[in-house]
């Protein structure tokens, strides 16, 4: 997954969960780090606006995470302006390189197919609930 410093809120949460699920590497630059939300603030009678954080993000160990820091990539690659003007996209190029390596390894190791289970014997069953 390609990430960068413009990604906040869901752009912080999605790569965090992507990594936690083991779906693949994160490539690019650290995300913004904005995962504290506001919700349900009453509007003052003068039509103004007041906001206060009402919820945040913590991990399964009970520690605050991401807010104020972001999600660090596995491969730190910055898209610098002079390369982009020249028509290059280093983050995308690195992502393609890594995916190609992963596909090559997968092809070499072969597909991992789960074994087919034996057919269940339901000849004497009356109910239809699974075994």
- CATH value at residue 91: 3.90.226.10
Does a structural domain hold residue 13? yes
User: What is the predicted pLDDT for the residue at 9?
Assistant: 85
Structural domains counted in the chain: 1
Does a structural domain hold residue 130? no
Q: pLDDT band for position 73 (50/70/90)?
A: very high
Residues shown for the chain = 131
Sequence-distant (6+) residues with CB within 8 A of 30 are 3, 5, 69, 70, 71, 72, 73, 76
User: What is the predicted pLDDT for the residue at 52?
Assistant: 81
Q: What is the DSSP letter of 46?
A: T
Domain boundaries, position 18: 2-100
Does a structural domain hold residue 108? no
Does a structural domain hold residue 78? yes
Predicted structure pTM score: 0.71
3-state SS assignment for residue 76: strand
Does a structural domain hold residue 117? no
- Distance CA(97)–CA(20), nearest Å, equals 22
Summarised one tens digit per residue, pLDDT across range 15-70 is: 999 999 999 999 999 999 988 888 777 888 998 988 888 888 888 899 888 988 99
User: What is the predicted pLDDT for the residue at 131?
Assistant: 59
pLDDT above 80 for 116? yes
Helix (H) or strand (E) holding 28: strand 27-28
Summarised one tens digit per residue, pLDDT across range 80-102 is: 999 999 999 999 999 999 999 99
Sequence-distant (6+) residues with CB within 8 A of 81 are none
């Amino acid at each position: 997954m390609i990430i960068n410093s413009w990604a906040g809120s869901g752009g912080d949460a999605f790569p965090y969960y992507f990594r936690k699920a083991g779906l693949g590497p994160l490539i690019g630059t650290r995300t913004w780090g904005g995962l504290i939300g506001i919700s349900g603030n009453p509007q003052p009678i003068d039509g103004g606006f007041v906001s206060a954080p009402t919820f945040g993000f913590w991990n399964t160990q009970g520690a605050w995470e991401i807010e104020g820091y972001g999600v660090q990539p596995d491969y730190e690659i910055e898209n610098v302006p002079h390369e982009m003007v020249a028509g290059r996209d280093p983050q995308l190029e690195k992502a393609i390189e890594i995916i190609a390596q992963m596909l090559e390894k997968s092809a070499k190791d072969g597909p991992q197919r789960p074994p087919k289970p034996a057919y269940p014997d339901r000849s004497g069953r009356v109910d239809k609930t699974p075994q």
